[in-house]
Amino acid sequence: MRTHNIFARFSNLLFVLLIYAFLYIPLVVLVLFSFNKAQFPAPWNGYTLFWYQELWQSTHVWLAFYTSCVVATSAVVISLLLGIGLMLYCMHSKRVAHLMNLFYVNLVIPEVVLSVGLLSLFALCSIPLGIPTLIISHTVLGVGYVVPILYVRFKSIDQRLIESSLDLGATTTQTFLRIILPLLRPSLVMGGLLVFILSFDDFVLSYFCAGSTAQTLSLYILSMLRSGISPVVNALSAILLLLSSCLVLIFCSLSIRSRLF
Amino acid sequence: MDLKKRSAYYKPFFFGVPSLMWQILFFYIPLLCVVVLSFSGPTLFAYFKPFGEAQYIRIIMRSLLLALFNGVVCTVIAYPLAYFLVFKAERLKNLLLFLIILPFWNSFLLHISAWIFVLDRHGVLNNILMWLGMIHEPLHVLNSVTAVCIMMVYFYLPFVVLPLYATLERLEVRLIESSLDLGATWWQTVRKVLIPLTMPGIRSGFFLVFIPSFGEFAIPEFMGGDKEMYVGSVVSRLVLGTQTAGAGAAYTVVSSLALIVVSGGIYWALSRKAISSEL
């Protein structure tokens, strides 16, 4: 008890509340101003849904949203397939552990360096930039998350389950499909969701690898921000905020305890 | 039999191949490409000339300083917060943790536009301060180093809270209690027991902020105006510019080397402070 009294000195409720205010006030302001009748520099001028209507009718937004969805979904599917394949290999070879280290670097490297690398690779091989290059770059990021998540789960599987399945006459493929994959399912869902959100929100990789033809939602927001603030950005932000909050809510309810770090 | 055994051994390997190939082809080869590209065409120094070599070195130094500032400030703020979450939040723990994670999953362009609203000349902050009568002229916070720093801390704070939370959750509270019982003051306990015990969390949190914020370019672009350049913005301009991709690659290599050296130094310094709880 005494410990806690002593630490009250440097971690009290007021401090914590201030941090939460710091984190959330800008977002609240952003959402509030999406309902403002007047354009930004003007103060509050009454309530309207006009900007949402404008957003709904904008073909650019829908196109960008579609591109983002295509890229994110493809990145999820490819990185999960790659991860599952690697786990199948893991099942057979015990010495695979050091190969896993190959994948941990993805999370540590600054994204700008990776983007420059991918861009120079595409330039050297003269691959035109577009949706395929976007998918490739997002999958690289995705694999960096999916592989460690799957591997941690895979290691925690009771080896006896695999052994008894093999002893009872199942082939390795059957064992993998019937025993390991169902056990990996929570991690697959978690990894997939994570990659989807990351890819959907990613800005740096998209900025470098999109070229001039493909435009994701982040790049669309960027172009809108460059051309000056419009309440349409706020409306879009408010909707995105809601969407990703829902995804995070699912993500957290899936597993609050198992953490990324 | 022999053949069957061999195929059983090789088949799974082919399932592992795609991901390994992918990783090598789109992760390691690109990094190699940066190095190759950096030696192609005119050298980096050809591009240094218009700005002067000192300018580029200064940009690296400035980025390192910003990353260091960001890492330290985030850690210092996040530590008491994580402490609160672990030891005092009780029933609200999960909710509060969720609220920390939530903004972290939103596109950060969204956060940037939110902060532009707050910090702009006609923004919320200025309006409130003027209404309160604390200032008479609007402050020019946007497009300054202050705005960059605020935004950096705002964006990277959750990255530190999570590893610190995970470490503090596993902390042996008895060690702290015994330190206090044996007559150490609270400050001595913090410095000699608490911090060394939680050093792994502090270290990983610090690097999760330090490394990405070195290469950050959207935040300085939007919040800092174009007075102060950072590594990220220089690299993006050079690489996406015509004819300067080689110089951009070279600059990426040079600044990455600087980052690796400094990170190594900090890692070594922090590791010396760590002690294990298994006494």
DSSP one-letter string for A12-26: -HHHHHHHHHHHHHH
Inspect the interface and report whether the beta carbons of B186 and A117 lie closer than 8 Å: no
Residue B14 inside a domain? The answer is no
- CATH fold, domain A59-228, is MetI-like fold (1.10.3720)
Inspect the interface and report whether the beta carbons of A116 and B252 lie closer than 8 Å: yes
CA distance B117 to chain A (A): 7
- DSSP letter, residue B28: I
Residue B29 inside a domain? The answer is no
Model pTM above 0.90? no
Residue B64 inside a domain? The answer is yes
Give the number of other Cβ atoms within 10 Å of residue B174's Cβ: 11
Least confident of A19-23, A135-139, A257-261, B145-149: A257-261
- C-alpha distance across the termini of chain B, in Å: 54
Predicted pLDDT at B102:
81
Residue B36 inside a domain? The answer is no
Q: Is the pLDDT of residue B2 over 60?
A: no
Furthest CA-CA distance within chain B? 89
Predicted pLDDT at A136:
93
Predicted-complex ipTM score: 0.80
**Which residue is closest to B180 within chain A, CA to CA?**
A3
Inspect the interface and report whether the beta carbons of B116 and A229 lie closer than 8 Å: yes
CA distance B146 to chain A (A): 15
Q: Do the beta carbons of residue B86 and residue A3 sit within 8 Å?
A: no
Q: Is the pLDDT of residue A1 over 70?
A: no
Q: What total number of domains does chain B contain?
A: 1
Q: Which of A36-40, A129-133, A168-172, B44-48 has the highest mean pLDDT?
A: A129-133
Of B33, B87, B212, the CB nearest to A4: B87
Residue B92 inside a domain? The answer is yes
A11 neighbourhood in chain B, CB within 8 Å: 80-81, 83-84, 88
Domain at B232, CATH number: 1.10.3720.10
DSSP letter string over A123-185?
HHTTPPPSHHHHHHHHHHHHHHHHHHHHHHHHHHS-HHHHHHHHHTT--HHHHIIIIIHHHHH
Residue B7 inside a domain? The answer is no
pLDDT, tens only, B64-120: 999 999 999 999 999 888 888 888 877 788 888 888 888 777 777 888 888 887 887
Residue B21 inside a domain? The answer is no
**Domain containing B166: what range?**
43-273
Q: Which contacts of A181-184 are long-range, i.e. CB under 8 A and separated by 24 or more positions?
A: A181/A84, A183/A153, A183/A157, A184/A84, A184/A87, A184/A150, A184/A153, A184/A154, A184/A157
Residue B27 inside a domain? The answer is no
**Which residue is closest to A23 within chain B, CA to CA?**
B154
pLDDT, tens only, A81-119: 999 988 888 777 766 677 788 888 887 788 888 888 898
Size of interface A-B (CB pairs under 8 A): 253
Which residues does B153 contact at the CB level (< 8 Å), separation at least 6?
B70, B73, B74, B77
B87 neighbourhood in chain A, CB within 8 Å: 4, 7
